Amino acid sequence: MHTNRFRTWLFAVVAALALSACQTTPPTDISAPAVDPACTVSQAAFNHIHARHCTPGVPANQLLPVYCQNAASAQTFCRMVQDAPNKIRVVQPDGRIRYDSNLNQVVGTAGEKCGRMVMEPNGDVVTEFPETGNAPPPCM
């Protein structure tokens, strides 16, 4: 009789321990949006963007002139891409953060409505340009 009570008691203790192990605090919601630092366009980054994406005749997608005036205008484009509600954010293998965003307005000289921006984890912009793919459609 005592053996059955002991077994029942032991089963109850083991079950309680197992149940309490399953009732720990849930992990942080991994679907929550990541918070990145505000983008910073240095003069060196602007020089790259201007030479590659603001110069007619260069075989790359070209930004509208409004985003090619200076580092501040390039920073405006960066914020648009980073803050767009319709975006894809990817941390690349090199640790840089890539945004592909549908901006719902023309931002490129070929009528592109999407933009890409790549930044370092500290917020320093590497490059930015209009694009026609990889962002939530429609990009044209």
Residue ranges of domains in the chain: 43-131
DSSP characters for 37-91? PPPB--HHHHHHHHHHHSSTTSSS--B-GGGSSSHHHHHHHHHHHHH-SSEEEEE
pTM for the structure as a whole: 0.74
* Per-residue pLDDT, 35: 78
Q: In what order do the strands lie in the sheet with 114-119?
A: 87-91, 97-102, 114-119, 125-131
Structure token pair of residue 39:
């983008």
User: How far apart are alpha carbons 51 and 3 in whole angstroms?
Assistant: 84
Domain 43-131 is of which CATH architecture?
Roll (3.10)
Phi, psi (deg, nearest 5) at residue 40: -130, 120
Residue-wise pLDDT for 21-76, tens only, equals: 444 444 444 444 567 889 999 999 999 999 999 999 999 999 999 999 999 999 99
The string of pLDDT tens digits covering residues 87-126 is: 999 999 999 999 999 999 999 999 999 999 999 999 999 9
- Per-residue confidence band for 2, with pLDDT thresholds at 50, 70 and 90: low
